[in-house]
């Protein structure tokens, strides 16, 4: 992390496998992310992050003195990152020089999303928008209500991201993990059959093989095979979701319902692994789209079904992040920290 310095306009980038989103943060503002500054670009249209950022500055008309880049990949010594589902490789020092910035700070995308929840609320705005929507009967926990709190942030998009948020007094820290690549644990007879199908295809089966965009397609194809049905070739995650919504494809409906249930199991396992008894935030590009199935399906049942720990799991709140820019909001929270402040609102 760069040395703490005075507040200054900060370029934010949320870099995934398909898109990169840019925005500008002013760390001294009550709402540090400048909403009108947000733009989205397709990764495939640019040779590098630097090229995309130059186009952003040209399009948006904003300037910045430093940058925080939230990237979907493992950060090596805080200096470089090779994005997991993306051809770009990024060097903090080279990018700072290319864009004439004081410094560039690289973070894992889910480290940023873990920070974002401190700037979010479950209150409805004038247009009816909510950043956070409870999943299940428990409400949204208040971050900072206790001196010690541990949360999980998990969500499917192009891949499956996993992060942790730790509150210890006035100190806030994040866990940058690759938990999405942990091995899939089958919990039901159907899970076992799905695992057999995907094991023959991939060998080792990680959680990300099921809980992400392509994972939804994998589930659809596996369920078709188990049921003796012929899957549609080249079907996309969007088509699976649409046909499930329209009730025009029973296999698509089963795939989405199974996705929600397995997502619940994975999220519950993360609570046990990290000791995140204070709550789970569900994020990623697919969560808002699949929220109806997460709300009404087996997500909470499978989340709570942890044997001797069921009673404890029933007390752990889960909430969906509905704000479309959690990565940029998290970058804004990090910009506050870099400038010597705290995003923790008690």
Give residue-wise pLDDT tens across range 210-251.
999 999 999 999 999 999 999 999 999 999 999 999 999 999
Query: Band of the pLDDT at 125, cuts 50, 70, 90?
Result: low
Is residue 344 situated within a structural domain? Answer: no
As for how many domains the chain has, the answer is 2
Query: Band of the pLDDT at 340, cuts 50, 70, 90?
Result: confident
Strands (E), the chain: 10-15, 19-25, 39-42, 66-71, 75-76, 80-82, 89-91, 104-108, 132-135, 148-156, 160-168, 171-176, 279-282, 318-321
Query: Band of the pLDDT at 18, cuts 50, 70, 90?
Result: confident
Question: Are residues 317 and 206 both part of a single domain?
Answer: yes
Question: Are residues 159 and 274 both part of a single domain?
Answer: yes
Is residue 3 situated within a structural domain? Answer: no
Check if the beta carbon of residue 19 is closer than 8 Å to that of residue 42: yes
Question: Are residues 186 and 305 both part of a single domain?
Answer: yes
The model's pTM is: 0.86
Check if the beta carbon of residue 163 is closer than 8 Å to that of residue 113: yes
Tell me the CATH number at 131: 3.40.367.20
* Locus of tokens 């596996």: 222
The pLDDT, as a whole number, for residue 173 is 87
Is the pLDDT at 167 greater than 80? The verdict is yes
The pLDDT, as a whole number, for residue 217 is 97
Question: Are residues 35 and 91 both part of a single domain?
Answer: yes
Average predicted confidence (pLDDT) for the chain: 90
Give one word for 83, left, alpha or beta, with left for phi > 0 and alpha for psi -120 to 50: beta
Question: Are residues 105 and 133 both part of a single domain?
Answer: no
Is the pLDDT at 114 greater than 80? The verdict is yes
Question: Are residues 272 and 333 both part of a single domain?
Answer: no
- Note down the domain range covering 74: 10-110+325-339
Nearest to 251 by CA among 234, 265, 232: 232
Is residue 4 situated within a structural domain? Answer: no
Tell me the CATH number at 39: 3.30.420.40
């Amino acid at each position: 992390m760069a040395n703490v310095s005075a507040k200054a306009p900060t370029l934010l980038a949320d870099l995934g496998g398909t898109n990169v989103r840019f925005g500008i943060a002013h760390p001294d503002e009550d709402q540090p992310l400048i909403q009108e500054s947000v733009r989205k670009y397709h990764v495939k249209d640019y040779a590098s992050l630097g090229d995309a950022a130059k186009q952003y500055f040209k399009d948006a008309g904003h300037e910045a003195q430093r940058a925080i880049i939230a990237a979907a990949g493992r950060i090596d010594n805080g200096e470089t990152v090779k994005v997991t589902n993306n051809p770009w490789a990024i060097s903090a020092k080279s990018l700072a020089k290319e864009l004439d910035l004081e410094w560039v700070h690289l973070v894992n995308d889910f480290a940023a999303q873990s920070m974002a929840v401190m700037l979010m609320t479950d209150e409805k705005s004038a247009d009816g928008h909510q950043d956070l929507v409870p999943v299940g009967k428990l409400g949204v926990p208040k971050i900072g209500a206790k001196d010690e709190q541990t949360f999980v942030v998990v969500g499917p998009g192009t891949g499956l991201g996993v992060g942790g948020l730790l509150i210890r007094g006035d100190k806030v820290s994040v866990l940058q993990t690759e938990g999405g690549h942990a091995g899939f644990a089958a919990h039901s007879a159907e899970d076992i059959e799905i695992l057999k199908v995907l094991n023959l295809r991939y060998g080792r089966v990680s959680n990300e093989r099921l809980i992400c965009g392509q994972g939804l397609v994998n589930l659809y194809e596996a369920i078709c095979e188990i049921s003796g049905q012929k899957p549609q070739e080249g079907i996309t995650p969007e088509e699976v979701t649409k046909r499930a919504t329209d009730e025009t494809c029973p296999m698509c409906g089963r795939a989405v319902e199974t996705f929600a249930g397995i997502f619940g199991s994975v999220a519950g396992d993360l609570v046990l692994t990290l000791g995140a008894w204070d709550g789970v935030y569900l994020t990623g590009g697919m969560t808002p789209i699949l929220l109806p199935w997460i709300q009404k399906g087996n997500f909470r049942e499978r989340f709570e079904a942890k044997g001797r720990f069921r009673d404890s799991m029933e007390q752990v709140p889960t909430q969906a992040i509905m704000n479309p820019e959690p990565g940029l909001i998290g970058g804004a929270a990090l910009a506050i920290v870099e400038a010597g402040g705290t995003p923790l609102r008690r």
